[in-house]
Chain A
């Protein structure tokens, strides 16, 4: 499949690098200010993509991916658009417009950007309904973990709830606080030194990132279980009850540990509610994953409880989910 990759952060770059291994070809790459578009042929009729190594090198050295205009990448001759620009809230722009452009051209879209799926799921479904292209977004929830496709396989109407640890940064901080008896601020600076937490960690530690993932799952459950999409309840971040870990004192983890428990930032989604909050879990329980690990627990009507754990973030990990989606496109 011919891919246009919009967004040249860790995920976008990894998609460009790994697409060939999955049998796909990248014909265009864009970041916010530049683009590179392949002319599509090797002179004898065979298709040729952009040079992945050159794109990555230019991005590292000069901060641009090529000498073309970003609009050229959106207009390129691709089969699927990979939207991997940073997540934005509210109108989810510019990601949403990129998705619209591709769907209106009857092309497929694979999202790594959570904004359009969390904030404008109804609009997205409506655009997809009028398009010959499909929309997939496995990479938006739990990185490498196949959360969305597992829910789809079981069928949303047979899934009663999805919960889990969906933010590696918050989980790393809680794990270290419990293991070392340290306070939040101390562990946060350690996480920032290690590159596990960003300079502004709000998105992760306030629970927003985990909430967006749960909102996406709630949309999958709600729209997937409805006979008519018009009857489905649409969720956005505003519908989520969100508590973060910023204020959790070390003494909470100590009291929990005395009783064989620990604290994890748990997100829960059903077709009716979305909640993210620090919760007590058993210290050696399934949900008490360590460090930056994530886990998704799916509660089903007929198949019991499924647990899938793994890496919830990272360029190659998330790119694997993106390329898995590309493989599912018909």
Chain B
């Protein structure tokens, strides 16, 4: 199995949906808040790089919790390494904009590498199936190029190659797309697929089919 595939399959999602802190709930109840400094908590995603040592994940989560972030999910891509040999971790949490800035600062103070920090980076989920000579055309590269499109992140891959790796195989991809960028994400997949003569079974965009 190619490295890219094992990498994605090694990932696991840990969900922690604790109640928000009481003062945040009060903030959220104020609908008249100024949009520029909206005190209502929104969902944020940070992409971290951790050193492959025990205790690192906990060390990374503490600054988030201690600074008023409400953890939603942790995507720990165990087995996948960044070019610097570290482990990428994606953490979703709720926080007000002000607190979010404090959290990123606290993470950096702890010596944790913050690769990416943004608000609601991936708000929409897309499931699609690719088929064709997926393995011959380097599935790992296909996935990397979809990721590189910036509209989507590959959250999960399931491969079915019943006739062996040299025959036609299929892969179901779960993508997380930026809010409102579902069409762009699918277009990015189509572009890579077309070049590699793969077929895309796309969902009906915007239709609860």
- Which A positions have Cβ atoms within 8 angstroms of B? 163, 243, 247-252, 254-256, 258-259, 261, 263, 266, 268, 277-282, 285-288
Contact = CB atoms under 8 A, between A and B. Distances in A.
A266 B158 CA distance: 24
Contacts of B199: 243, 247-248
Interface of B: 127-129, 131, 158, 160-162, 168-172, 199, 201-204, 207-209
Contacts of A279: 201-204, 209
Contacts of A285: 208-209
B170 A252 contact: yes
A291 B201 CA distance: 20
A277 B201 CA distance: 8
- For the residues of B in contact with A, the DSSP-based class is strand
Contacts of B172: 255-256, 258-259
A50 B50 CA distance: 86
A279 B128 CA distance: 9
B129 A256 contact: yes
Nearest to B126: A280
A255 B170 contact: yes
B208 A255 contact: no
- For the residues of A in contact with B, the DSSP-based class is mixed
Given A247-B131, A249-B170, 6 more contacts: A163-B207, A248-B131, A249-B162, A280-B201, A285-B208, A286-B209
Nearest to A279: B204
Contacts of B204: 163, 266, 268, 279-281, 287
A249 B168 contact: yes
A168 B161 CA distance: 29
B202 A255 contact: no
B116 to A, nearest CB: 27
17 contacts: A249-B162, A249-B170, A251-B162, A251-B169, A251-B170, A252-B170, A252-B201, A254-B160, A255-B158, A255-B160, A258-B158, A258-B172, A277-B202, A280-B129, A280-B201, A280-B202, A288-B209
Contact of B127 (A163, A249, A261): A261
Contacts of A282: 208-209
Report which residue of B168, B201, B202, B208 has the largest number of chain A beta carbons within 10 angstroms of its beta carbon. B201
A171 to B, nearest CB: 14
A285 B162 CA distance: 28
A277 to B, nearest CB: 7
A278 B209 contact: no
B92 to A, nearest CB: 21
A259 B160 CA distance: 13
Given A279-B201, A279-B202, A255 B207 contact: no
A178 B208 CA distance: 20
Nearest to A256: B129
B158 A252 contact: no
Contacts of B169: 249, 251
Contact of A281 (B160, B168, B209): B209
Give the top 9 A-B pairs by smallest Cβ distance, nearest first. Answer: A251-B160, A281-B209, A255-B172, A251-B170, A280-B203, A285-B209, A287-B209, A252-B170, A252-B129
B182 to A, nearest CB: 13
B129 A255 contact: yes
B201 A251 contact: no
A270 to B, nearest CB: 12
A255 B169 CA distance: 11
A263 B131 CA distance: 13
A251 B129 CA distance: 10
A258 B209 CA distance: 17
B69 to A, nearest CB: 31
A123 B162 CA distance: 50
Nearest to B127: A259
A228 to B, nearest CB: 31
A254 B209 CA distance: 18
